[in-house]
Amino acid sequence: MITIKNKKNGSGLKQAVEEISGVDVSVCFQCKKCSSGCPVAKLTKSRPSEIMRQLHLGAGNELLESDLVWMCASCETCSARCPMGIDVAAVIDALRRLALERGASKQKGNVPLFNRAFLKTVETFGRSYEIGMITAYKIGTGKLMNDTEKFPAMLKKGKIALLPPRGGDRKTVKRIFRKCKESKGAQA
């Protein structure tokens, strides 16, 4: 059963999601194809079809705490299979962006931290740089030793580059990041 808490508290989430994603959430008729095809729905408390209905019924910021928001793998199966052509994955992307903007609480696994670490290396070097990204991510999570047993083998096989990437047009990429930050600031 879907229950809506804090209806008054968080009004505007539907509108904000629709503006960011370009999706009309009202057309969802709850066939649940998205939830049945979702690879992570068997592991999460919230399901894509429930999120769609909760948005429609006026749910607020509490929806940004749903575990699906950061566990979604962006596989886009939901969007591909929706009989109404709803881009469900774009709705989840919109919820992620809103969660970042509105400071929703951190969740297990820290996907936002990973994304920040990844994008920081792109901003710096023009291309992603695994060692830089993994270091920043692991320092952020405080779990330095997770997964490190795989490092030596990957280094030996040349599957991880020691030195930062060269040859990328760093100037253009730096400009892109700067302009995107400015444009976000202008919207806020």
Partner 1 sequence: MRYAYYPGCSAESTARDMHQSTLAVARALGIDLVEPKGWTCCGATAGHQTDRLLAVSLPAANLAKVQDMKLDMMVNCAACYSRMKVANHEIAAHSDIRKGVREALDRDYDGSVKVRHLLEVLLEDVGLPAIKRAVKRPLNGLKVACYYGCLLVRPPKILKFDDPENPTSLDRLVTAMGGTSLEWPSKVECCGGGLSLSRTDVVVELTGSIIDMAASVGADCIAVSCPMCQVNLDLRQQDINKQTGKNYQIPIVYITQLLGLCLGIGPGELGFEKLMVPAKRVLEKVNERA
Question: What does the binding site for partner 1 look like in residue numbers (CB under 8 A)?
Answer: 20, 39-40, 43, 71, 73-77, 79-80, 87, 89, 93, 96-97, 100, 108-111, 113-115, 118-119, 122, 126-128, 130, 134, 137, 146-147, 150, 153-154, 157-161, 165, 167-170, 172-173, 175-177, 179-180, 183-184
Mention every residue, 6+ apart, whose C-beta is less than 8 A from residue 97.
20
Q: Residue 53 corresponds to which tokens in the numbers above?
A: 């209905």
Q: Residue 2 corresponds to which tokens in the numbers above?
A: 């879907």
CB 8 → partner 1: shortest distance, Å? Answer: 29
Closer of 65 and 169 to partner 1 (Cβ): 169
Distance CA 30, CA 50 (A): 8
CB 105 → partner 1: shortest distance, Å? Answer: 16
Q: Phi and psi (nearest 5°) for 3? A: -115, 140
CB 184 → partner 1: shortest distance, Å? Answer: 7
The answer to whether the beta carbons of residues 95 and 146 sit under 8 Å apart is no
Mention every residue, 6+ apart, whose C-beta is less than 8 A from residue 70.
96, 99, 107, 109, 111, 112
CB 66 → partner 1: shortest distance, Å? Answer: 15
User: DSSP letter at 41?
Assistant: T
Closer of 7 and 181 to partner 1 (Cβ): 181
The answer to whether the beta carbons of residues 39 and 77 sit under 8 Å apart is yes
CB 25 → partner 1: shortest distance, Å? Answer: 18
Closer of 2 and 161 to partner 1 (Cβ): 161
Closer of 62 and 130 to partner 1 (Cβ): 130
Closer of 4 and 87 to partner 1 (Cβ): 87
